[in-house]
Amino acid sequence: MTAVTVTVYKVTGMTCGHCEGAVTAELTALPGVTSVKAVAATGEVTVESQAPLSEDDVRAAVDEAGYELVGTAA
């Protein structure tokens, strides 16, 4: 069984389902990502990956979608 890394990020600027879809699409394209769940109401994006992701890579993907990565959720 392969270990899965689950990280919850805080993202600002998401307000609707379209926003969630844009963030999900960009993050899903990162190597090793197996699942993404973005929730505009909370600003949280849960990412499952095969290994820990570089925060710079996640930040670049979120930025490409038009939003801002605040950091990981506590």
Domains in the chain (CATH in brackets) are: 5-72 (3.30.70.100)
SS3 string, the chain, reads CCCCEEEEEEEECCCCHHHHHHHHHHHHCCCCEEEEEEECCCCEEEEEECCCCCHHHHHHHHHHHCCEEEEECC
* pLDDT tens by residue, 8-54: 999 999 999 999 999 999 999 999 999 999 999 999 999 999 999 99
Q: How confident is the model at residue 2 (pLDDT cuts 50, 70, 90)?
A: low
Whole-structure pTM value: 0.93
pLDDT at 61 over 80: yes
pLDDT at residue 73, rounded to an integer: 82
Exposed e or buried b per residue across 24-55, where buried means at least 16 C-beta atoms within 10 angstroms of its C-beta? bebbeebeebeebebebeebbbebebeeebee
